[in-house]
């Protein structure tokens, strides 16, 4: 007979299973984030970004204190090279946040979705260019397919997907910089956010807008402003928990949840136009991602056989 403790052990999740749940939660929260930002259509993207920075700094400070990671922050602050990289990373992150908010609130969610579909292919390209990582044959083909789709959109229809390319480029460069910095995600994000904090506070003080004064706002608007910190940090915490429990290659299989949910929201909920130009571009990008994922699965299985 099994004891009670044995039964409890049998029903507990393995680290891999827990990691997968955390990964699904993280990318799902990123995928539904547009619903939150759509509630603030009456507020400018810059003002929403300001609140995102301020309340994220508050939440992250609480987490740092609660998780007793103040020493990690002070260690990073004492390293000039680390701080230089975090300054650059913070600027890229701020630009990415602002453009994502602007895109959602100006009916460009479909293009934002395209940007985050392209992002992993940019990561492969940057790994090749900056980190000396070698392209596998199918990776070359996957990147070529994605950029062919973008090129067709530009050449045949005269439409450059600025939003998608800028979102993908800024987030890939941000990831590249953070890869060079030996700082945990939460202390690093706190430092990056605090570097933007003076600008955010200055904006709040000097810019005259109808919603700048909390006393003049309805409670629902003020709650949404404060929730910006949770919207930013909650998926990050789940992502960090997933990254600790899963191989990075395994984690990559979940990254399409976010842009896929954005795509569905854009088409079915917010009725953004999905014309033939965009259909062709998405078709090539999806084909590239299919090849990319197939190659990643094959490589993952090969590494597993070698390990065994």
**What is the share, in percent, of the chain residues with pLDDT greater than 90?**
52
Output the average pLDDT for the chain: 87
Per-residue pLDDT at 10 exceeds 70: no
pLDDT band at 123 (very low <50, low <70, confident <90, very high): confident
pLDDT band at 8 (very low <50, low <70, confident <90, very high): very low
pTM attached to this predicted model = 0.84
* Structural contact between residues 120 and 257, judged by C-beta atoms closer than 8 angstroms: no
Q: How many residues does the chain have?
A: 308
Of the listed ranges 107-111, 114-118, 200-204, the one predicted with least confidence: 114-118
3-state secondary structure string across 236-271: HHHHHHHHHHCCHHHHHCCCCHHHHHHHHHHHHHCC
Q: How far apart are the first and last CA of the chain?
A: 33
Return the axis-axis angle of helices 109-130 and 80-105, rounded to nearest 10°: 150
pLDDT band at 157 (very low <50, low <70, confident <90, very high): low
């Amino acid at each position: 007979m099994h004891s009670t403790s044995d039964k409890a052990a049998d029903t507990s999740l393995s680290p891999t299973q827990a990691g997968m749940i955390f990964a699904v939660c993280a990318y799902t929260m990123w995928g539904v984030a547009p619903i939150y930002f759509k509630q603030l259509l009456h507020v400018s993207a810059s003002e929403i970004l300001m609140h995102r920075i301020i309340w994220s700094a508050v939440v992250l400070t609480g987490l740092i204190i609660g998780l007793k990671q103040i020493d990690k922050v002070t260690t990073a602050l004492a390293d000039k090279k680390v701080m230089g990289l975090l300054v650059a990373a913070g600027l890229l992150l701020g630009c990415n946040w602002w453009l994502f908010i602007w895109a959602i609130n100006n009916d460009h969610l479909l293009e934002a979705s395209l940007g985050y579909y392209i992002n992993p292919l940019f990561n492969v390209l940057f790994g090749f260019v900056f980190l000396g990582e070698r392209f596998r044959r199918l990776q070359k083909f996957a990147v070529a397919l994605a950029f062919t789709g973008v090129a067709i959109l530009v050449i045949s229809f005269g439409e450059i997907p600025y939003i998608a390319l800028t979102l993908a480029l800024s987030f890939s460069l941000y990831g590249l910089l953070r890869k060079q910095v030996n700082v945990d995600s939460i202390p690093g994000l706190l430092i990056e956010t605090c570097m933007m904090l003076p600008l955010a506070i200055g904006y709040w003080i000097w810019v005259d807008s109808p919603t700048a004064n909390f006393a003049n706002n309805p409670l629902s608007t003020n709650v949404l402003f404060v929730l910006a910190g949770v919207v930013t940090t909650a998926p990050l915490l789940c992502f960090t928990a997933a990254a600790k429990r899963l191989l990075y290659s395994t984690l990559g299989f979940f990254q399409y949840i976010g842009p896929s949910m954005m795509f569905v929201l854009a088409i079915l909920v917010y009725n953004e136009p999905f014309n033939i130009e965009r259909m062709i571009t998405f078709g090539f990008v999806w084909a590239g991602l299919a090849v990319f994922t197939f190659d990643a699965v094959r490589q993952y299985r090969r590494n597993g056989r070698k390990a065994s």
